Amino acid sequence: MRVWLPSALLFAWLTGAVLAPVLPLAPNDVQLPNVLAGPSPGAWFGHDELGRPLLDRVVAGARTSLLVAVSVICISIFVGTLVGMISGWLGGFWDHVIVRVIDVFLAFPGILLAIALAGILGPGIENVVFALAAVGWVGFARLARAQTLSVKHREHVTAAIAMGSGTGRILVWHVLPLIAAPLIVEATFGIAGIIVAEAGLSFLGLGVQPPDASWGSVIREGTRYMLVAPHLVLIPSTALMLVVLSVNVLGDAFRDFLDVRSGENP
């Protein structure tokens, strides 16, 4: 599968998000003469209802989505992997308790639970990160537990136990390297879900607050002018779709690369 196009799109997203603070952007610059102006050579994406340059706000929204995605995925993979490895390694009563906790979280749709948490905590990027991380760790915990159960009886793990290695050392040096690959693949798909969830929360007014930009808030503001200025919705929606699609395509490619049963690897 050719991945050059998704890679180029993700590179553009990452570059714009990382360099946003040093680029000559003015996402909050109100220009009343340019209210609802369409794309033009001087403003490729046009202007919004306050005359602010839409290109600048889309780039600022890219930074918001990257910050939230990286923060949530780091917290989720750390907490989920730790809980899942401990559950799978200990087994017995503690494994049963942790599995029941995971089942409780899985009983609720993740996005609805995130909306409820964000609504209780109030709007703001920090609360969005907490709300999404509070539901995002469950998938990593379940995967880490299953992988730990499959590798904890292997010969090198048994040898490490016989040599008197501590539980922490065994999990970090002998179990984690074997289960890291599926967790990384899960993280790539998790990033796409987090980007969509952050945009959804911001669209509902529970995420980034004005005047800061998020793809979800930019889309929400543009829905009131769909008939007279459709570019306010189409452009940020397209950016969101392309980034999420690119992440999923690259995640599929990475999964196929790691899957020795696919027959593509020697």
Quote the pLDDT of residue 254. 85
pLDDT digits (tens, 9 = 90+) for 84-109: 999 999 988 999 999 999 999 888 88
Q: Which two tokens stand for residue 25?
A: 């952007």
Q: Is residue 46 included in any domain, yes or no? A: no
| Residues whose CB falls within 8 Å of the CB of residue 127, separated by 6 or more in sequence, listed in order | 117, 118, 121, 206
Q: Is residue 264 included in any domain, yes or no? A: no
Quote the pLDDT of residue 265. 43
Whether 15 shows a pLDDT value over 90: the answer reads yes
Whether 148 shows a pLDDT value over 80: the answer reads yes
Quote the pLDDT of residue 260. 53
Which residues is 47 bridged to in the sheet?
A: 53
The CATH number assigned to the domain holding 234 equals 1.10.3720.10
Q: Which of 81, 71, 76, 215 lies closest to 129 in space, CA to CA?
A: 71
Q: Is residue 147 included in any domain, yes or no? A: yes
pLDDT digits (tens, 9 = 90+) for 187-234: 999 999 999 999 999 998 888 888 888 999 999 999 999 889 999 999
Quote the pLDDT of residue 10. 92
pLDDT digits (tens, 9 = 90+) for 71-86: 999 999 999 999 999 9
Q: How confident is the model at residue 263 (pLDDT cuts 50, 70, 90)?
A: very low
Q: Is residue 20 included in any domain, yes or no? A: no
Average pLDDT over residues 4-31: 90
Q: How confident is the model at residue 183 (pLDDT cuts 50, 70, 90)?
A: very high
Structural domain count of the chain:
1
- DSSP H stretches of helix in the chain: 4-19, 54-90, 92-106, 110-121, 125-151, 155-162, 167-170, 176-203, 215-222, 231-258
- Residue 170 CA to residue 192 CA, distance in Å, equals 32
Domain extent, residue 77, equals 54-259
**Cis-peptide into 211, omega within 30 deg:** yes
Whether 166 shows a pLDDT value over 90: the answer reads no
Specify burial of residue 42 (Cβ count, 10 A radius: 0-12, 13-18, 19+): exposed
Q: Is residue 167 included in any domain, yes or no? A: yes
Average pLDDT over residues 28-33: 89
More confident residue, 262 or 158: 158
Q: Is residue 94 included in any domain, yes or no? A: yes
Average pLDDT over residues 40-59: 91
Average pLDDT over residues 241-255: 91
Q: Which of 10-24, 108-122, 229-243 has the lowest mean pLDDT?
A: 108-122
Q: How confident is the model at residue 266 (pLDDT cuts 50, 70, 90)?
A: very low
Q: Is residue 153 included in any domain, yes or no? A: yes
Q: What is the DSSP letter of 223?
A: G
The tokens 């299953």 sit on which residue? 146
Which pTM value belongs to this model?
A: 0.90
pLDDT digits (tens, 9 = 90+) for 50-78: 999 999 999 999 999 999 999 999 999 99
- Cβ atoms within 10 Å of 252's Cβ, excluding its own: 16
Quote the pLDDT of residue 221. 92
Quote the pLDDT of residue 264. 45
Q: Which of 110-114, 140-144, 176-180, 189-193 has the lowest mean pLDDT?
A: 110-114
Mean pLDDT over all residues of the chain?
89
